[in-house]
Amino acid sequence: MKIKRHTHLLNNIKSVELVAKSHQQAVERVIINNNCPIYAYINSLPSDNSKVTATRVIKAISKHLGKQSIYEINWQNFDRNQLNSLKQILDKNELAPDTIRLYLSVIKGILQEALLLEQITEKQWLRVKTVKGPKHTRQKKHATLSHNQFDELQERIELTAGNENAIARDKAIFHLLVGCGLRRNELASLSLASLNIESEHLEIVGKGNKLRRVKIHPLTMEVLSNWLSVRGFESGPMFMQIYKSGRLGNLTKNDGTENFLSGFSIYNLCRKYSLVGVENPVPPHSLRRSYATWLYDNGVDIKKIAELLGHSSIKTTEIYISTKQDEVDQAVLNSLF
């Protein structure tokens, strides 16, 4: 990878005081109503990322049920039969088993809040609890990038980003996705305070509010420092909107909250820079899987990879590791007899 070095910039960054600020993740609007089981459930979740995910799930559920709004679902009449019918719809629409289990979990969470609000009976709740998710799992084959494809991705950014500031930002975004194994919502919620300049680590709050520290590779640090020379060192979101003119968007909204990019914005960037010969579009999770696969192929212990990814179990990490079919074939030919 050919990357211009900006070592002089690191010395300038070290003089900047990084002040931690509370992060208010942009969440799709949920009406604040203490008598609403949706609000009670969303409000009970431990992290902003969980709230964003759950809100999107509820919106998707309403669409599968033919509703225009999440508030058109009558939770008081939502029973075991309706939940089983929805489960069949989701299976017919070929949603992954893990996704169906997530949808059922969210619905049960809302109905549990409805029980506590005395909007459904205990008998109704017990009947709903008996509905189980799919027992089987489906191993989806995820694309991973080769090092050459990652170089190609960087070249495509230079050709299609539109302006120099967007080039610097988008290269840094993809370097952090591949070079630090971040989830897209983790990347979207990064602030300048997430970066420890002295040790060259990112401090990331992941799922379940778990804090992890990820070492930044020198190549990624060079690209990130190039972006910081454009962004400046004011505290706030690491990444912001960039207009076609090259002007940087505001770090704060009109209401004073920090103006973070959304996870959906990161996904759209992946669509924009999709590569020929790779799953189209290149999903952010494939970039995270590339990080895990590259480390594993270079001999890093899977327990260490699990820690870097923020996984509680190495079984989850094992799913992330991509093994090419020809390598599996050669293992049989070379090692069986």
For the stretch 279-329, pLDDT in tens is 455 677 788 888 888 888 888 888 888 888 888 778 777 777 765 555 545
Tokens representing 46? 């431990």
Report the candidate in 143, 214, 124 with the shortest Cα–Cα distance to residue 175.
Answer: 214
User: Any idea what the Cα angle at residue 255 is, between residues 33 and 60, rounded to 5°?
Assistant: 45
Distances (CA, A) of 42 to 48, 55, 99, 157, 171: 9, 7, 18, 37, 34
- The type of residue at 281 is P
Tokens for 121, please give them.
């009976």
Identify residue 314 by its one-letter amino acid code. Answer: I
- Rg of the Cα atoms in the chain: 22
87-98 pLDDT, tens digit per residue, is 999 888 878 788
The pLDDT of residue 28 is 46
On whether the pTM is more than 0.85, the answer is no
Chain centroid offset of residue 56 CA: 13
pLDDT at 247: 94
Query: Quick one: CA dihedral 153, 158, 162, 165, positive or negative?
Result: positive
What pLDDT shows up at residue 29?
73
Q: Which is nearest to 97 in space by CA: 139, 67, 61? A: 139
CA–CA separation, 244 vs 39, rounded Å? 37
Quote the pLDDT of residue 51. Answer: 86
Domains and CATH numbers, the chain: 37-129 (no CATH), 142-329 (1.10.443.10)
206 and 187 Cβ atoms separated by less than 8 Å: no
Place of tokens 């983790």: 186
Question: What are 11-39's pLDDT values in tens digits?
Answer: 443 333 333 333 333 344 788 899 999 99
317 φ, ψ (degrees, to nearest 5): -65, -40
